[in-house]
Structure 1
């Protein structure tokens, strides 16, 4: 059912860092917030009480070393390209109206580039730390050229937290999210193209977890006013109470299978 729904552009893939483990047992970039926190700590050791929290560690660095240092270190951490998975490559062939990529690695973008797609624009969330105007996102074509305004495209790739490519845009520190979270309930930071394309569709979460409030808030607001149905591939044994509550509240049907098994079923011919 989900394979057919994706092929028919009836459901929106919402991709997370858990997909990186499908191409490598030891991905060349962090595959979760804890990994980013650990990588940042090798560059500037944060206090022990926040050391495992990516957002707080990033804020610590921004306050003490400057925003430019944080951005440069994030670009270093995600400089290596993760190998494309079969799932990324398959999704790149589909006539999807919208793809959400909630991680910084740029693998879905690379898959679209490798497929030779010319009908895609990427809308990235950007920090307002370096801005003195009312801006929430920037739009790029797959060559890396910034588009103002972004033209109509068959596929919108939305990276709400930013991405290492093409311009090292990162929403990562607590301060980055202050204004976003103030406005997100009324949907101001969500691009109009995303609002329009989610309306008659549901979401399919792959490689995502909802074990932090920040991740739950963004997923909830991106799904807002979409018709559903929604699905998520998650190991039920490892789910937290907050994750279970979130999935119940949002009407997300759990698929308790290894993500590699689900990806293979999607990609391989029936």
Structure 2
């Protein structure tokens, strides 16, 4: 159950920038294809099935999406996986997620979104912002990110020195199809990305400074897989104490242990309850 006072504390933090949303696949659970009403593949299992023409793969590959993506990359090439993600998130028409509509009404200063869709970017499409996109297996550079300035109508690639940290910052570590497709997907991508993330080369210097002492609100996250937990741990490095809150309706023992270790308070509730609390606050008595 979500305590109303805690809900108001979190919402106030999202508005003033002291709390950073960290968005996982569960935030897209209500999104469907406008053409056939099919759900958007966002979590690991649904992505694997969609990538493999609706057919399950071997149990060891069904364990998590990066493993399955690596298997298909070895068979069909890296372009096959990248094309699948671009066609899934960049060309199909999807309904809006209720969570993203709510987040758009707040427009936090800094948002982390580990999904690969474009709804977060659409929420900020009317205002200038800075977009950071995760990259992997690049040659000629140690950095594992690309930075774009959005001027209210289009994106332009910029370097760290030219980026404007005073604008809202959208961090898409696992990639996005826009403005150009780039993804962290297969095991080899994650190995490379996490290695450079741990070394400090996957986050721009201005963001390292900005994130100091921030707290985080984890929404739609399943903290059961080591890959995502390693990414999370390094992205929220330098967090405040406690680290923040994870909204989970039914946390597992493994998730509880991880959150306890990372000083993340588990809130046994749904993100819909947080939205309801926010709307209740906005409604005059």
TM-score, normalised to structure 1, is 0.88
Q: Deviations over 1:188-220 (max 9, x none)?
A: 322223211211311111111211111111111
Q: Is residue 22 of structure 2 the alignment partner of residue 14 of structure 1?
A: yes
- The question of whether the paired residues in 1 share the 8 Å contact of 2:149 and 2:158 is answered with yes
Partner of 2:207: 194
Distance 1:91 1:51, change over 3 A: closer
Any stretches of 5+ residues in structure 1 without a counterpart? none
Q: Is residue 48 of structure 2 the alignment partner of residue 37 of structure 1?
A: yes
Q: How many residues align?
A: 264
Distance 1:203 1:144, change over 3 A: same
Partner of 2:185: 172
Partner of 2:84: 73
Distance in 1 of aligned mates of 2:169 and 2:27: 20
Distance in 2 of aligned mates of 1:176 and 1:89: 31
Q: Select which of 141, 163, 169 maps to 2:176.
A: 163
Q: Is residue 230 of structure 2 the alignment partner of residue 222 of structure 1?
A: no
TM-score, normalised to structure 2, is 0.83
Any stretches of 5+ residues in structure 2 without a counterpart? 1-8
Once the two structures are TM-superposed, the CA of residue 93 in structure 1 deviates from its matched residue by 4.6
Distance in 2 of aligned mates of 1:199 and 1:267: 30
Once the two structures are TM-superposed, the CA of residue 86 in structure 1 deviates from its matched residue by 4.5
Distance 1:178 1:250, change over 3 A: same
Partner of 1:125: 134
Once the two structures are TM-superposed, the CA of residue 127 in structure 1 deviates from its matched residue by 2.0
Distance 1:124 1:234, change over 3 A: same
- The question of whether the paired residues in 1 share the 8 Å contact of 2:102 and 2:275 is answered with no
Distance 1:154 1:20, change over 3 A: same
CA RMSD of aligned residues (A): 2.4
Once the two structures are TM-superposed, the CA of residue 104 in structure 1 deviates from its matched residue by 0.5
1:263 match: secondary structure: helix
Once the two structures are TM-superposed, the CA of residue 162 in structure 1 deviates from its matched residue by 0.9
Distance 1:123 1:45, change over 3 A: same
